[in-house]
Amino acid sequence: MNRYPLWKNLLVLVVLIAAAVFAMPNLFGDDPAVQISAGRTATVDLALMEKAETALQDADIEYKGAELEADKLLIRLTSNDSQLKAKEVLTQTLLGDYIIALNLAPTTPEWLASLGAEPMNLGLDLRGGVHFLMEVDMVVAVKQALESYGSDIRLNLRDEKIRYKQIRNDAETLEVVFRNEADRDAAEQLISREINELEINVAEDSAEPTLVMNFNETTLRETKRLALQQNITTLRNRINELGVAEPTVQQQGENRIVVQLPGVQDTAQAKKILGATATLEFRLVDFEHDVQDALNGRVPANSELFYHRDGRPYLLNKRVMLTGEHVINAQSTLDAQSGSPAVSVTLDGKGARAFSNVTRDNIGNPMAVVFIESKSETKEIDGELVKVRRQVPEIINVATIRDQLSKKFQITGLDSTTEARDLALLLRAGALAAPIEIVEERTVGPSLGQDNIDQGFASVMIGFAFVLVFMLIWYRVFGFVANLALASNLVFIVALLSMLQATLTLPGIAGIVLTVGMAVDANVLIFERIREELRNGNSPQNSINVGYGKAFSTIADANITTLIAAIVLFGFGTGSIKGFAVTLSLGIITSMFTAIMGTRAVVNLIYGRQHKPKLSI
């Protein structure tokens, strides 16, 4: 009656051994390390490893060893201080397209690593680093999308020789003003035929024939979704260029992005790179009109007034020759002729063809490079503080086109090597689809992270010890069996977190502590049912069987309802709430196995072969 077949006992044993193996890497700790990865043009090989080791030896920096892993080099250091010194030395030594990041390298033995066993990841609150919550300016995203459609409409109207007076747009609508109603009606038919994403209406109350257009609901949602996704991709690229190991970039809600940078303590540099919304435009200089007339307010229709960073005014064509979105690689360098900071730029195929055609037709004409940065400032409007975003364009370089330019060229006129390096980084990573604003910022130091680990571990152990003592006193031998299951449950949770490469956070530790208390609930129900059966005069063997059999439905109901709540938390929660939901969910699943099947296997081994055992419960 109370005997498991051999395969069930073997199943419990195999699962327990597998869990112990995959949980074991978490016992060995980490080494502070420096990780060197290759960019687009560099390679990581033995020559690089020898160069890095020589640099560390020359600087008298003690290190444990260097390892080549796929496309990266990992150098293990002896302390956090030597880790910081090593990064500084390697950054100065390894000039080129390399990404140098601080990291923690697990000290897992090779035999465990060969089995695929790895330690779980630690969250920002346990490891230290920077947390940003960023909000995407969806108003600007929609406005920019409307501007793009406005350019398409302008070209279509010119191709069809439909005359119009002006095209203007604000945050939500696009307006086209015509000379007469005939042109307006012809344009309405053309636009409705060529562009399906816009809702077109005639402005009845306008003094001039005007079409008013805005996005339909589906296109509006898609525009916002694409802007958010492009910003996430761009932020990931920028973080990769910063050299942060194991970053987290994820969506929160409809217009926010969570960025976590483990190991980063320089918040100023991180904010500068992540929040930069700078773009680059190449435009021809309008030398046919007088700049002084433009300064007096008479700006030609097809030109715009810009200022060089040294204060000189220039008239530039409205038509943009090239934007930064066609850049596939950019490296900071020094100009061969002047020795000044420069950026070497490589274009994609489409950008190279367009740039080649324009420069071919304009040899001898001046071209300007415009750097446009979006800045946010707080102003008081009608007694309320309102954040206003404005674009600050400046010309960084004006040069005469001497030859037909194509795939590769240089940008000069930069103030410093730092500006050249930052501009190259932004060009490589791509432009943001819409400006972002940091609405929340937290910094966790490494020492505080270690304190969190120590306190979290202590809380688990204290809760675990109290439960062990209570169960042992209250249920005796059966309590000892429940304690074995509880210890196994902790091993299972750690093993699953390691196998899934999930990230453990402080709320995750709270979920484990809660699981420690909840894991014995099933055994309490079972043991109390066994006691009840014994009081009713049932035999010990039958009481065990009925206790496990009858309590199962109650245990399943209680755990399933809690699991549903945990799944809802994971689905709708963000950040730390997800960490709590993950450990709680895993704990519920593993506790069902250990509390029912695991304890039953041990009880069967103790009492199953006795005819009339005396139960210690």
For residue 49, the domain's CATH number is: 3.30.70.260
Q: What is the pLDDT of residue 14?
A: 92
Of 199, 220, 241, the last residue of a domain is: 220
495 has pLDDT over 90 = yes
Q: What is the mean pLDDT of the chain?
A: 81
**CA–CA distance, 439 with 530 (Å, rounded to integer):** 56
Domain shared by 402 and 468, yes or no: no
Domain shared by 316 and 401, yes or no: yes
In-domain check, residue 250? no
pLDDT in tens, 71-91: 788 899 988 788 888 888 887
Q: Which of 222-231, 425-434, 517-526 has the lowest mean pLDDT?
A: 425-434
541 has pLDDT over 90 = no
Of 174, 190, 220, the last residue of a domain is: 220
User: At 22, is the pLDDT very low, low, confident or very high (cuts 50, 70, 90)?
Assistant: very high
In-domain check, residue 517? yes
Q: What is the pLDDT of residue 575?
A: 63
Domain shared by 14 and 35, yes or no: no
Distances (CA, A) of 470 to 147, 488, 519, 539: 69, 18, 14, 26
Q: What is the pLDDT of residue 438?
A: 80
In-domain check, residue 512? yes
Question: Which residues does 320 contact at the CB level (< 8 Å), separation at least 6?
Answer: 281, 282, 283
How many Cβ atoms from other residues are within 10 Å of residue 271's Cβ? Answer: 15
Q: What is the pLDDT of residue 446?
A: 59
Q: What is the pLDDT of residue 21?
A: 93
199 has pLDDT over 70 = yes
Q: What is the pLDDT of residue 244?
A: 64
Question: HEC string of 189-255?
Answer: HHHHHHCCCEEEEECCCCCCCEEEEEECHHHHHHHHHHHHHHHHHHHHHHHHHHCCCCCEEEEECCC
pLDDT in tens, 287-298: 888 888 888 888
For residue 216, the domain's CATH number is: 3.30.70
**CA–CA distance, 86 with 93 (Å, rounded to integer):** 10
376 has pLDDT over 70 = no
User: At 19, is the pLDDT very low, low, confident or very high (cuts 50, 70, 90)?
Assistant: very high
Alpha-carbon dihedral angle through residues 507, 511, 512, 516, given to the nearest 10 degrees: 140
Burial class (CB within 10 angstroms; exposed 0-12, middle 13-18, buried 19+) of 516 = buried
557 has pLDDT over 90 = no
User: At 429, is the pLDDT very low, low, confident or very high (cuts 50, 70, 90)?
Assistant: low
pLDDT in tens, 573-602: 766 687 888 888 998 889 888 888 888 888
In-domain check, residue 123? no
For residue 339, the domain's CATH number is: 3.30.1360.200
How far is CA 332 from its chain centroid?
A: 26
Question: What domain range is 39 assigned to?
Answer: 30-106
41 has pLDDT over 60 = no
Count CA within 13 A, CB hemisphere, residue 186: 15
Instruction: Kindly state the average pLDDT of the residues 211-235.
Output: 85
User: At 608, is the pLDDT very low, low, confident or very high (cuts 50, 70, 90)?
Assistant: confident
Closest by CA position to 233, among listed 78, 524, 434: 434
Domain shared by 215 and 301, yes or no: no
Of 176, 195, 220, the last residue of a domain is: 220
Domain shared by 368 and 508, yes or no: no
**CA–CA distance, 65 with 77 (Å, rounded to integer):** 8
Q: What is the pLDDT of residue 389?
A: 62
Q: Which of 129-138, 261-270, 400-409 has the lowest mean pLDDT?
A: 261-270
How far is CA 385 from its chain centroid?
A: 31
Domain shared by 540 and 473, yes or no: yes
In-domain check, residue 111? no
Q: What is the pLDDT of residue 503?
A: 78
**CA–CA distance, 210 with 201 (Å, rounded to integer):** 9
196 has pLDDT over 60 = yes
Number of domains comprising the chain: 4
**CA–CA distance, 280 with 89 (Å, rounded to integer):** 32
Q: What is the pLDDT of residue 464?
A: 81
User: At 18, is the pLDDT very low, low, confident or very high (cuts 50, 70, 90)?
Assistant: very high
Domain shared by 595 and 507, yes or no: yes
Q: Are 112 and 21 in contact (CB under 8 A)?
A: yes
**CA–CA distance, 461 with 224 (Å, rounded to integer):** 47
Domain shared by 288 and 407, yes or no: yes
For residue 571, the domain's CATH number is: 1.20.1640.10
User: At 272, is the pLDDT very low, low, confident or very high (cuts 50, 70, 90)?
Assistant: low
Greater pLDDT, 17 or 40? 17
User: At 194, is the pLDDT very low, low, confident or very high (cuts 50, 70, 90)?
Assistant: confident
In-domain check, residue 575? yes
- Spell 228-260 as b/e; 16+ CB within 10 A means b: bebbbebbebbbbbbbbbbbbbebeeebbbbbb
Domain shared by 209 and 94, yes or no: no
**CA–CA distance, 249 with 257 (Å, rounded to integer):** 7
Phi, psi of 491 (to 5 degrees): -65, -40
In sequence order, the β-bridge partners of residue 129 are 262, 444
CA dihedral over 349, 350, 355, 357, signed as positive or negative:
positive
491 has pLDDT over 60 = yes
DSSP 342: E
In-domain check, residue 347? yes
In sequence order, the β-bridge partners of residue 210 are 177
Domain shared by 467 and 556, yes or no: yes
Q: What is the pLDDT of residue 20?
A: 92
Domain shared by 55 and 18, yes or no: no
Alpha-carbon dihedral angle through residues 427, 432, 438, 443, given to the nearest 10 degrees: -40
Residue with tokens 């090593």: 86
In-domain check, residue 263? no
**CA–CA distance, 485 with 526 (Å, rounded to integer):** 14
Q: Are 378 and 368 in contact (CB under 8 A)?
A: no
Question: Which residues does 502 contact at the CB level (< 8 Å), separation at least 6?
Answer: 120, 121, 496, 582
179 has pLDDT over 90 = no
Instruction: Kindly state the average pLDDT of the residues 318-322.
Output: 84
pLDDT in tens, 277-289: 556 788 899 888 8
235 has pLDDT over 90 = no
Domain shared by 18 and 38, yes or no: no
Closest by CA position to 242, among listed 348, 136, 91: 91
